[in-house]
């Protein structure tokens, strides 16, 4: 009785003072970050995106990019305002049919204050209009938009979306995408997923290219490649469209070498599906840029983008295996925190070892011994970078790749082939179109194998120095035949 009286009094007081009760929170700003420990300001809080519709016009002669992105989202709290991650000059923002106030807070945070507050669970339609020269825009100390002699590339990790569309830029908020780009006639504009308009004449001298990704996609895995490309279209046995593209500035020998690898994407995808479970997406292919245009390959969803330079010395199927393995590990199952990056790169690297074994160019065991015993001697600085927590500055250090793959190989030895295979398939199944963390992977692997992995993962992922394999004098292993290609494909 006393308690009840106090409750009533407190509630009455709350009404007088305007203090929120649990069921009627005062709308508050969404956070400026998604809670990433390495990148606290990447992504945002307070809403969840379901779909991006990105409509652009690009002028290759001047690098001018104009456009409108419409975001369909829902509020995850009562919202007074929220942030978008975006670096370009913004002309207008509308939220739920009303003009919204907006202000740049830092080089990539756009603070949007809607005319009316948004209730938790309510739909949000956000329309952002913009016009800028992306190659002039510096954020986080650099310009990720990459202007090329015949167009531009929006391909990078983790920072790229800010230079071409506003977003909730963290892999934990995935969405479907429509990307539609007007370019001058004769210029190609290639993106993820299924082509819905292919060089469709728009108006005098301009054509529209439209792409649809209906499966959840992380913002950094959404790409745009504009330029002069030779393109090829086919259909996979499962009915998905295959689109491949090669920049016309590639010399004939490099273009031919690139094709011998990238034209096998469909077959390699099927081979990987045999290891990891069904291919998660409804489109396939690959894009090869001019030699040196970007200096790396990236596992952009459904259609990795490769640098032509990777094929200057000939084909590199191992690189294609790496980027396509990421379709499971990185794209369908994304990192829950950027510090979990080994869940992407260790797995994609290990897929290369398995491909080597399949091709008779060195078994995974031989490669593991070679990496452990020869490539990185015990006193190498390599062993000081922790794959499970490399630090933002070493996100793509060799240790994330090679020690990450070694971790998987020794996990396989510990739990046996059968459980190891079951772990990989259960992980891609449980986390499909989602995100996962290392502790979640450990819990799943322990459940399947029945093995306590605390000490094992502590040693391999979180302890400096070369793990002791209990071998006093390891013979120096010979270099597996596949090693040069594997080493050239650390992307
Ligand atoms: Zn990779």
Number of H helices, E strands in the chain: 11, 22
- Check pLDDT > 60 for residue 178: yes
Report how far ligand 1's centroid is from the alpha carbon of 77 (Å): 35
What pLDDT score does 475 carry? Answer: 65
Report how far ligand 1's centroid is from the alpha carbon of 35 (Å): 24
Report how far ligand 1's centroid is from the alpha carbon of 197 (Å): 30
Mean pLDDT for 240-267 is 98
Contact indicator for 313, 485 with CB cutoff of 8 Å? no
Residue 347, both tokens: 């797995």
Report how far ligand 1's centroid is from the alpha carbon of 67 (Å): 31
Closest by CA to 28, choosing from 71, 76, 84, is 76
Report how far ligand 1's centroid is from the alpha carbon of 307 (Å): 13
Q: How far is CA 280 from CA 67, 127, 330, in A?
A: 30, 30, 12
* Residue 9 banded pLDDT, cuts 50, 70, 90: very low
- DSSP type of residue 298: B
What pLDDT score does 474 carry? Answer: 60
Report how far ligand 1's centroid is from the alpha carbon of 344 (Å): 7
Cα distance between residue 79 and residue 168, in whole Å: 15
Report how far ligand 1's centroid is from the alpha carbon of 342 (Å): 9
What pLDDT score does 24 carry? Answer: 60
Report how far ligand 1's centroid is from the alpha carbon of 324 (Å): 9
Report how far ligand 1's centroid is from the alpha carbon of 251 (Å): 26
- DSSP type of residue 27: P
Cα distance between residue 174 and residue 229, in whole Å: 29
Which pTM value belongs to this model? 0.94
Over residues 302-360, the pLDDT tens digits come to 999 999 999 999 999 999 999 999 999 999 999 999 999 999 999 999 999 999 999 99
Report how far ligand 1's centroid is from the alpha carbon of 490 (Å): 6
What pLDDT score does 334 carry? Answer: 98
Report how far ligand 1's centroid is from the alpha carbon of 60 (Å): 29
* Residue 5 banded pLDDT, cuts 50, 70, 90: very low
Which residues partner with 215 through β-bridges? Answer: none
Report how far ligand 1's centroid is from the alpha carbon of 391 (Å): 17
Report how far ligand 1's centroid is from the alpha carbon of 319 (Å): 9
What pLDDT score does 63 carry? Answer: 98
* Residue 16 banded pLDDT, cuts 50, 70, 90: very low
Q: 90-95 and 98-99: which strand pairing?
A: antiparallel
Mean pLDDT for 54-70 is 98
Mean pLDDT for 2-15 is 38
Report how far ligand 1's centroid is from the alpha carbon of 52 (Å): 25
Report how far ligand 1's centroid is from the alpha carbon of 212 (Å): 24
Cα distance between residue 30 and residue 46, in whole Å: 4
Report how far ligand 1's centroid is from the alpha carbon of 267 (Å): 19
- Check pLDDT > 70 for residue 7: no
Report how far ligand 1's centroid is from the alpha carbon of 326 (Å): 7
Which 3 state secondary structure label does DSSP give 344? helix
Report how far ligand 1's centroid is from the alpha carbon of 381 (Å): 21
Report how far ligand 1's centroid is from the alpha carbon of 88 (Å): 28
Which residues partner with 48 through β-bridges? Answer: 74
For the ranges 13-27, 64-78, 205-219, the lowest mean pLDDT is seen at 13-27
What pLDDT score does 487 carry? Answer: 86
* Residue 471 banded pLDDT, cuts 50, 70, 90: low
Within 13 A of 223's CA, how many CA atoms are on the CB side? 28
Over residues 425-465, the pLDDT tens digits come to 999 999 999 999 999 999 999 999 999 999 999 999 999 99
Of the chain, the percentage scoring pLDDT greater than 90 comes to 91
What pLDDT score does 288 carry? Answer: 98
- Report helix, strand and coil shares of the chain as percent, to nearest 5: 30, 30, 40
What pLDDT score does 472 carry? Answer: 54
Report how far ligand 1's centroid is from the alpha carbon of 233 (Å): 25
Q: For residues 305-338, b (16+ Cβ closer than 10 Å) or e, as one string?
A: bbbbbbbbeebbbbbbbbbbbbbbbbbbbbbbbb
Q: How far is CA 452 from CA 393, 407, 430, 441, in A?
A: 31, 15, 20, 13
Report how far ligand 1's centroid is from the alpha carbon of 385 (Å): 17
Report how far ligand 1's centroid is from the alpha carbon of 183 (Å): 30
Of the chain, the percentage scoring pLDDT greater than 70 comes to 94
Report how far ligand 1's centroid is from the alpha carbon of 321 (Å): 10
Closest by CA to 227, choosing from 296, 169, 152, 157, is 152
* Residue 470 banded pLDDT, cuts 50, 70, 90: confident
Cα distance between residue 420 and residue 418, in whole Å: 5
- Check pLDDT > 90 for residue 213: yes
Report how far ligand 1's centroid is from the alpha carbon of 350 (Å): 10
Closest by CA to 34, choosing from 170, 175, 237, is 170
Residue 331, both tokens: 């794209």
- For residue 365, the tally of other CB atoms under 10 A from its CB is 15
What pLDDT score does 241 carry? Answer: 98
What pLDDT score does 3 carry? Answer: 34
What pLDDT score does 113 carry? Answer: 98
Report how far ligand 1's centroid is from the alpha carbon of 348 (Å): 6
Our measurement of the distance from residue 29's CA atom to the centroid of its chain's CA atoms, rounded to an integer in Å, reads 27
Integer-rounded Cα radius of gyration of the chain: 24
Report how far ligand 1's centroid is from the alpha carbon of 317 (Å): 14
Contact indicator for 456, 388 with CB cutoff of 8 Å? no
* Residue 489 banded pLDDT, cuts 50, 70, 90: confident
Report how far ligand 1's centroid is from the alpha carbon of 489 (Å): 8
Report how far ligand 1's centroid is from the alpha carbon of 466 (Å): 23
Residue 37, both tokens: 């420990």
Contact indicator for 423, 449 with CB cutoff of 8 Å? yes
Report how far ligand 1's centroid is from the alpha carbon of 179 (Å): 24
């Amino acid at each position: 009785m006393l308690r009840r009286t106090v409750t009533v009094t407190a509630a009455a007081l709350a009404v007088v003072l305007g203090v929120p009760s649990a069921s009627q929170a005062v709308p508050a700003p969404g956070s400026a970050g998604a809670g990433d420990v390495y990148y606290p300001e990447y992504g945002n809080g307070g809403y969840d995106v379901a779909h991006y519709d990105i409509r652009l016009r690009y002028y290759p002669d001047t690098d001018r990019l104009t456009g409108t992105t419409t975001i369909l989202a829902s509020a995850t709290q009562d919202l007074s305002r929220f942030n978008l991650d975006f670096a370009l000059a913004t002309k207008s923002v509308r939220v739920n049919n009303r003009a919204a106030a907006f202000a740049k807070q830092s080089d990539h945070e756009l603070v949007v204050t809607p005319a009316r507050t948004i209730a938790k669970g309510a739909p949000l339609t956000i329309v952002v209009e913009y016009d800028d020269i992306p190659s002039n825009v510096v954020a986080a100390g650099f310009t990720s938009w990459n202007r090329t002699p015949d167009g531009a590339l929006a391909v990078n990790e983790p920072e790229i979306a800010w230079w071409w569309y506003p977003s909730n830029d963290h892999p934990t908020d995935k969405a479907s995408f429509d990307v539609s780009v007007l370019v001058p006639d004769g210029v190609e504009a290639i993106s993820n997923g299924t082509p819905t308009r292919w060089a469709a004449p728009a108006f005098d001298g301009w054509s529209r290219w439209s792409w649809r990704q209906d499966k959840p996609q992380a913002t950094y895995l959404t790409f745009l490649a504009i330029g002069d490309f030779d393109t090829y279209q086919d259909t996979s046995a499962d009915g998905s469209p295959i689109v491949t593209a090669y920049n016309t500035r590639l010399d004939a020998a490099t273009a031919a070498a690139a094709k011998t690898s990238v034209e096998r994407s469909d077959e390699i995808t099927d081979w990987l599906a045999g290891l990891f479970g069904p291919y998660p997406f409804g489109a396939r292919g690959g894009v090869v840029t001019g030699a040196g245009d970007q200096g790396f390959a990236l596992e952009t969803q459904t259609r990795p983008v490769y640098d032509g330079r990777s094929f200057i010395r000939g084909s590199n199927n191992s690189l294609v295996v790496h980027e396509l393995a990421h379709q499971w590990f990185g794209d369908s199952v994304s990192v829950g925190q950027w510090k979990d990056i080994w869940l992407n790169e260790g797995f994609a690297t290990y897929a290369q070892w398995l491909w080597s074994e399949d091709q008779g160019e060195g078994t995974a065991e031989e490669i593991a011994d070679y990496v452990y015993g020869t490539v990185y001697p015990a006193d190498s600085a390599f062993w000081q970078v922790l794959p499970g927590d490399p630090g933002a500055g070493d996100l793509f250090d060799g240790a994330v790749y090679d020690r990450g793959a070694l971790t998987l190989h020794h996990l396989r030895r510990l739990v046996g082939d059968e459980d190891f295979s079951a772990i990989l398939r259960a992980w891609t199944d449980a986390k499909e179109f989602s995100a996962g963390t290392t502790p979640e992977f450990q819990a799943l692997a322990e459940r399947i194998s029945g093995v306590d992995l605390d000490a094992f993962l502590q040693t391999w992922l979180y302890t400096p120095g070369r793990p002791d394999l209990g071998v006093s004098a390891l013979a120096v292993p010979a270099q597996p035949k596949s090693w040069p290609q594997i080493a050239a494909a650390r992307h």
